[in-house]
Amino acid sequence: MSEIETRLAHVMDRIRAAEKRSPYGQKVTLVAVTKFHPLEDMEEVIGLGVKEVGENRVQEMEGKYKALTVPVRWNLQGHLQKNKVKKAVAMADLIQSVDSLSIMEEIDKRAGEIGKVQDVLLEFNISGEESKTGLTPDSLEEAAEKAGNLSHIRVVGLMCMAPEYEDVELTRPVFREGHRLFEALKEKFPKGQISILSMGMTHDFEIAIEEGANMVRIGTAIFGPRQYH
Ligand SMILES: *Cc1c(COP(=O)(O)O)cnc(C)c1O
């Protein structure tokens, strides 16, 4: 077994165990976060059964998108700049990082130009950390209303991140609030449309699952530390 194969198997075991501890009975989808890792690593996990990959930057995604020859679902989850939206919409199956009303409008416009309805998640900044982007929980109603009026985006759920507390248990109230907002969001859209609660990364995904996450975004635990360059 390669290192990645061993790590992935371990992550899957931990996901399945956390699912069993969750009171919500949800099934969890893994997004393998491949940012700063080479195409070969992406190909390897897809070969091992991973169905979804996540990238943060449009430019890096584009390189891999053009080179990859096997099917996968593409998630974009980094803060998106307006001038990158056109490319993002051309590639992404799901844009997880809709963190402002203005970026929502731009996605709608660019998706309209290519006759696409873009699936998106609203990203909420729940912990109130100023360094993080995201909609404020107070703006849920306004954001949902705005999205409902745009014909080329479809909100299918919510994404959030917890601060990197040393004591990971401290993330629990953040994820609990994420779940509460997820339920509130369901009320604002047609039945069944809001189905994805994306929360949990390498250091905190088990707690996120226990609090109701049905999508986790994991990089380091699968691929090892990122080599920034
Ligand atoms: C990088 C990143 C991840 C994955 O982080 P790991 O700690 O490596 O698992 C997940 N979500 C977002 C939004 C990220 O930027």
pLDDT tens, position by position, 17-29: 999 999 999 999 9
Q: What is the mean pLDDT of residues 217-226?
A: 97
Q: What is the DSSP letter of 27?
A: P
Q: What is the DSSP letter of 173?
A: H
pLDDT score of 129: 86
- 77 Cβ closer than 6 Å to some ligand 1 atom: yes
Q: What total number of domains does the chain contain?
A: 1
Is position 54 within any domain? yes
**CATH number assigned to the domain comprising residue 127:** 3.20.20.10
Is position 228 within any domain? no
Residue 155 DSSP SS3? strand
Q: Measure 217 CA to ligand 1 centroid, in angstroms.
A: 6
Is position 89 within any domain? yes
**Model pLDDT for residues 49-100, shown as the tens digit of each residue:** 999 999 999 999 999 999 999 999 999 999 999 999 999 999 999 999 999 9
Percent of the chain with pLDDT over 90: 95
Percent of the chain with pLDDT over 70: 100
Q: Measure 200 CA to ligand 1 centroid, in angstroms.
A: 8
Mutate which of 7, 77, 79, 98 for ligand 1 pocket (most atoms within 8 A of beta carbon): 77
Q: Measure 218 CA to ligand 1 centroid, in angstroms.
A: 6
Is position 229 within any domain? no
- 217 Cβ closer than 6 Å to some ligand 1 atom: yes
Q: What is the mean pLDDT of residues 143-163?
A: 97
229 falls in which pLDDT band (50, 70, 90)?
Answer: low
Which domain covers residue 143, as residue numbers? Answer: 3-223
pLDDT score of 198: 98
Report pTM.
0.97
Is position 200 within any domain? yes
Tell me if 61 sits within 8 A of 76, measured CB to CB. yes
Task: Fill in the amino acid letter for 173.
Answer: P
Q: Measure 113 CA to ligand 1 centroid, in angstroms.
A: 30
Q: Whose CA is nearest to atom 12 of ligand 1?
A: 77
DSSP letter string, 116-143: --EEEEEEE--S--TTS--B-GGGHHHH
- 11 Cβ closer than 6 Å to some ligand 1 atom: no
Is position 61 within any domain? yes
Q: Measure 33 CA to ligand 1 centroid, in angstroms.
A: 6
Q: What is the mean pLDDT of residues 133-137?
A: 95
pLDDT score of 130: 85
pLDDT score of 97: 98
Nearest CA-CA partner of 22 in 225, 211, 159: 211
CA distances from 129 to 27, 76, 116, 145, 188 (A): 29, 21, 34, 25, 26
Asked whether residue 222 carries a pLDDT value surpassing 90, the answer given is yes
Q: Measure 216 CA to ligand 1 centroid, in angstroms.
A: 9
- List Cβ neighbours of 197 (8 Å cut-off, separation of 6 or more): 157, 158, 178, 179, 182, 212, 213, 214, 215
In the numeric block, which tokens belong to residue 131? 């360094």
Asked whether residue 228 carries a pLDDT value surpassing 80, the answer given is no
Is position 188 within any domain? yes
Q: What is the mean pLDDT of residues 212-218?
A: 98
Tell me if 7 sits within 8 A of 44, measured CB to CB. no
Q: If you search the block for the tokens 């226990």, which residue do you land on?
A: 210
Exposed/middle/buried for residue 206 (C-beta within 10 Å: 0-12, 13-18, 19+): buried
Distance CA 75, CA 92 (A): 6
Distance CA 107, CA 120 (A): 9
132 falls in which pLDDT band (50, 70, 90)?
Answer: confident
